[in-house]
Amino acid sequence: MQLRDALKDYKRNRDHRTRFPGECRTTSGRFSGRSGRLVHVGESGQIRDFSYPLTGLTGIVRSRFGVRPAGDDGGDGV
């Protein structure tokens, strides 16, 4: 996967209800991004930050992950 492909995917899916913006599978993990950040999470949980070309930001101070169970539509359950 090329960086430009990840950016196109981010732009195409950023307003989707259930997909994380920019999330895209790779052979060795997933790319995900939001607010100009682009990170790759490897199968072992290793995180690499590719945000500098987008925002000039480098490094990850902390990370927060959200997990949604399969079949959950993202509603509030009311």
Q: Is the pLDDT of residue 62 over 50?
A: yes
By the 8 A CB rule, do 52 and 40 touch? no
Q: Domain limits of the chain?
A: 3-55
Q: Is the pLDDT of residue 40 over 50?
A: yes
Question: In the prediction, which pLDDT does 77 show?
Answer: 52
Q: Is the pLDDT of residue 12 over 70?
A: yes
What does pTM read for this prediction?
A: 0.43
By the 8 A CB rule, do 31 and 38 touch? yes
